Homo-oligomer: A and B are copies of this chain.
Amino acid sequence: MTAPTAASAGAPVLDAPPMTNDLFLRACRGEIVERPPVWMMRQAGRYLPEYRAVRAKSDFLTMCRTPELATEVTLQPIDIVGTDAAIIFSDILVIPEAMGMHLVMEESVGPQFPVPVRSLEAVRQLRTPDPEVELRYVLDALRMTRGALGGRVPLIGFAGAPWTLAAYMIEGKGTKQFSVAKKMLFQQPETAHALLARLADAVGEYLVAQVKAGAQALQLFESWAGSLGPQEFRTFALPYLSRAAAIARTAGVPLIVFAPGASWALELLAESTGADVIGVDWHIEAADARRRLAPHGVSMQGNLDPCLLYAPPDIVRARTLEMLEGFGGQRHIANLGHGILPDTPVESAKAFVDTVKSWRSPATAR
């Protein structure tokens, strides 16, 4: 393990070594590439035996909070699967925790907030987090990982988007319908807006801090976009996602926005968030996403159904090739259309990554 690289405050890491593989950053910026870069959401995860070995000795939150462990598992997929980017091992719920909420991670139930936020008073009691204080452990993990990577591949930082975090904070846990959170939108809209505004600033500042600590690109996860219909999405999700994105963009690195379950909103996200890259989930065919997003001058990231990695390797390869051709080879970052599943065979993950890496993009941009 390499010692942490200190990031100079307010600017990207200045003494960092040059990138040996900057394909991911070039694709984010829409430059012509020889092939799409590839990484996988949740690539540092339970499908890797090496991850499970670390996890066997520490619980999930301890791994998040211990920079050495977070760095170790962040690097695993780079070494084992050979992805073109690293994403820091962390969780979207670190922000609500940094705002003062008690977070409990129970193996079988998933993350829970035993005391949810359900009133304006509860919103007022939330702390405005200072990333270098309450979230220092994430920033330390970024600094350490950036150093350990030594320029091999770029490092991605991330955060949950305001509506997604608010939904968790109001519900207190993950649910299928988010009916408690949605009830607040309809019964106490001013409480919801107050919470969302607090979150937009906290998320934006946290992302900027991640860049100062060494993140070379950022991803905003609006994981529960699909819980809102178009009108509520425009009222309660998009303005705060855009506000967090606007703050994050001041850090000057590429920004990816991913809103799974809201394929209808692809164009809207491209127009409203100023993102360099729009994530595409597996509910939409690659060629459709490309046709819809091409006029907006953004890059795209996605979108193989993670369940396809259960298929035999020849089918994984065939479907990956179809996806690559659908996106057309430029302004595309190959990825899954959702996080990789814990029982995915490592061989299938490699077949996916290797198929992308042996493919060649048509030389002309679309």
| Chain A residues in the interface with B (C-beta under 8 A) | 176-177, 179, 182-183, 185-187, 226, 229-232, 262-264, 282-285, 288, 305, 307-308, 310-312, 315, 319, 337, 341, 343
Contacts and interface: CB of A to CB of B under 8 A. Distances in A.
A181 to B, nearest CB: 9
| This chain: copies in complex | 2
Contacts of A305: 182, 229, 232
Contacts of A310: 179, 182-183, 186-187
Contact of A307 (B183, B282, B308, B343): B183
A186 B231 contact: no
Main secondary structure of the interface of A (DSSP, over half): helix
Contacts of A308: 186
Contacts of A179: 307, 310, 341, 343
Contacts of A187: 310-312
Given A177-B341, A264-B263, A283-B226, A182 B231 contact: no
Contact of A186 (B185, B232, B285, B311): B311
B230 A307 contact: no
Given A179-B307, A187-B311, A285 B341 contact: no
Contacts of A283: 226, 229-230, 262, 264
A136 to B, nearest CB: 33
A189 to B, nearest CB: 9
A284 B264 contact: yes
Max chain B CB contacts within 10 Å: which of A179, A283, A312, A337?
A283
Contacts of A177: 307, 341
Nearest to A348: B186
Nearest to A322: B231
Contacts of A186: 307-308, 310-312, 315
B307 A182 contact: yes
